[in-house]
Amino acid sequence: MKISITIILIVIALLIGVVAGYAVPRPTAPAATVTITQTVTTTAPTAVGLSGDVPIGALLPLTGALATYGKMCQEAFMMAVEDVNSWLAAMGKPWRLKPFVEDTAVDPKLAVDKFMTLIGRGVKVVVGPMASSEVKAIRDYANERKVVIISQSSTSMELALPNDFVLRFTAPDKYQGVAIAHILWERGVRYVIPIWRGDTWGDGLLNYTKAEFVKICRASGEPCGFDDGIRYAPEAKEFSVEVSRLASITRDYIARYGREKVGILAISFEEIASIFTEAVNYPELSQVKWQGSDGTYGSGKLVEDPRLAEFTARIEFWNTMTATGESPIKESFRRRLMNRIGGVDPIPYAYFTYDIVWAVALTINNVGSYDGEAIRFNIIPILNNFIGVSGYITLDENGDRASTDYVIAAVVEEGGKYLWKDIGGYIGGKLVIY
């Protein structure tokens, strides 16, 4: 049956410091007030069996090539669980989320093992994994067991499939590839030399970027090109051979076309620090512009070592990441999470992680039972009436965030210290520099 309920939402402290997960109809523009009164038509739960602990899992890279991101997302995950449970207590609900976090170390095989561990604990919703290779490894198991996987950072187009149990709160690489190609072109790069991580994510993002760059190149009528580049194994730890080759190719391009027209595209995770450790030894590699992606956006490893930080700033290493939207609770979340992670500005993936937990909790509460299939196919209506810390969330036909806007970050020197800073964005199909 249908029931009408009036929801009055006020941003107040309660026990949680912030009310996240507004359940309000989506206006044509963000609300200007923090007090919203609205009548909402919803479906009454058909089963009311929620009580006690309801498990929710997280597969995160607390070690390995995405550890900086994983640890930040772990804090956002735990903060969201705490906030949801405080909200449930304030509402007089008899159930609470019980979190389980497993470290995958960006290892697809380990991700499968840890996924099975979570299933053994009764988990039917998993936040993560972060890498597309990990999501790919567990996807079939998730579909068979009807366990919902919601990744905050997987972007490979190979995983963009309708009606499966994989959802993603970040935009897929068909959009990021377009953005990176246009950013490179606007930066004056006419000859691209790629070095990339040879996995599901790296191969896919490279192909989408190359296709769009070639398209721009042909339409321009200018001399330009995209080199075959260097593909490396995801498990690689040392890059002396690869970087030596990269330097040789770059030297040749500079000699033929001039350094202003040459750019290096690095599609990498945090092994970028090992790549840069070798790159600092080749003068030609600091004479051209570098472009990164969401895999290296905000990497802590590039600012921990002063030599790497100086090199990263000197080469103008720009990195793209799906942009968060506007939200009346965004800044409050940002300040709270920064207090938990040592004052570092959170990356967008942390915002997405927090919103995933809230969207899941609201869906569970609405359907009235802890069932993977019910959560998977009822979360979309919840998102249609939800604004989180990352703004409004619209998923496309494949269950991926439908967004074409990207923020751009680079390492800059301020007050004698190197730090990551958002310097612009690719917004509405145009490069914007702050």
pLDDT in tens, 284-304: 999 999 999 999 999 999 999
> What is the per-residue pLDDT across 80-118, written as a single tens digit (0 to 9) for each?
999 999 999 999 999 999 999 999 999 999 999 999 999
Residue 241: which domain range?
A: 174-323+406-433
The string over 68-99, giving b where at least 16 C-beta atoms fall within 10 Å of a residue's C-beta and e elsewhere, is bbbbbbbbbbbbbbbbbbbbbeeeeeebbbbb
Give the chain's domain count.
2
Listed in sequence order, the residues at least 6 apart from 41 whose beta carbon sits closer than 8 Å to its beta carbon are 2, 3, 4
Summarize pLDDT for 362-415 with one digit per residue, the tens.
999 999 999 999 999 999 999 999 999 999 999 999 999 998 999 999 999 998
Among 9, 82, 2, which Cα is nearest to 328's? 9
Query: Is the domain of 142 the same as that of 236?
Result: no
Q: What is the CATH number of the domain that holds 233?
A: 3.40.50.2300
Domain shared by 63 and 145, yes or no:
yes
pTM of the predicted model as reported, rounded to 2 decimal places? 0.87
Mean pLDDT (the chain) is: 90
The residue type found at 179 is: A
The pLDDT of residue 27 = 43
34 lies in the same domain as 164: yes
Confidence at residue 49, expressed as pLDDT on a 0 to 100 scale: 75
In this structure, the answer to whether residues 125 and 13 fall within a common structural domain is yes
| In a domain? residue 230 | yes
Q: In this model, does residue 17 exceed pLDDT 90?
A: no
Asked if 346 and 256 sit in the same domain, the reply is no
Mean pLDDT, residues 25-51: 41
Together in a domain, 152 and 258 = no
Q: Is residue 398 part of a domain?
A: no
Give CA–CA dist 405/92, Å, rounded.
Answer: 39
pLDDT at 202 over 60: yes
